[in-house]
Amino acid sequence: MPDLCLPDLWQYGAILFDLDGVITPTADLHREAWAHMFSEYFREISATGQSVAEYTDQDYYDYLDGRPRTEGIAVLLHSRGIDLPAGGEEDTAAENTVYGLGERKNAEFLRLLDQGIAAYPGSVQLLDSLAAPKEGVTPPRLAIVSSSKNARPVLQAAGLLDRFELIVDGLVAAELELPGKPAPDTYLHAATWLGVPAEKAVVVEDALSGVAAGRNGKFGLVVGVDRGAGEQELRDAGADTVVADLADFVG
């Protein structure tokens, strides 16, 4: 079961939040967009006479959750014995490449996002609590660290863009050539930019790869938010504590 005695987040210098599934329920939109894209693509392959296992919800957790888009696509295709050329960032959704499939998925995600998104109420509660002054205590600095290239539009749509001092997203990672989670580089970059040592910073994640990134970066606290990955799985990946909702930290 989730932990009942939780650490005090105010004792840390920075809190680094994943976005999808932690601050906003965009993980649901990503799951839906991935399922739409891969199901459609696998039907196209099957129509040619090639046998391919259907896409399942477990594929999202095993291959896609928390990974950079093209990396996740390549890994999932490999699991099906499908070898596609990587292509490049200039590829459109019409291209039969890894980048092309990524564009298909992103188009579906943006279509779903256009219907509106609201942050998790418990996550907003925690952000409000961290913004409330405490006498004699310096509040932790807040950042978003996400593999998504849509982090800013998602935060804008949720009305939370101004809550975070720094956003390290998929665009920043690509520009700086930072490897994605479970490598700790994006989180370490955020901590360095904020001037906070990793051991004085918190990583908050719902994805196994993100939790592993926090562990691999030797952060002071790694919080797993169980939105479906599984409590024990999050602990095994490196979470020091697991909660069902970030409101659990507001007492």
Largest CA distance in the chain: 69
Residue 137: CB atoms within 10 A of its CB come to 10
Distance of CA 202 to the CA centre of its chain: 15
Which residue from 250, 237, 224 is spatially nearest to 21, judged by alpha carbons? 224
Contact 250, 13 (CB under 8 A): no
| Pairing between β-strand 166-168 and β-strand 141-145 as defined by DSSP bridges | parallel
Compute the distance between CA of residue 85 and CA of residue 192 in angstroms, rounded to an integer: 35
Active-site amino acid positions = 18, 20
Contact assessment for residue 191 and residue 184, using Cβ atoms and an 8 Å cutoff:
no
Instruction: Say how far apart CA 52 and CA 46 lie, in whole Å.
Output: 7
**In the beta sheet, which residues pair with residue 137?**
134
Closest Cα to residue 201, out of 140, 133, 136? 140
Break the chain down into helix, strand, coil percent, rounded to 5. Answer: 50, 10, 40
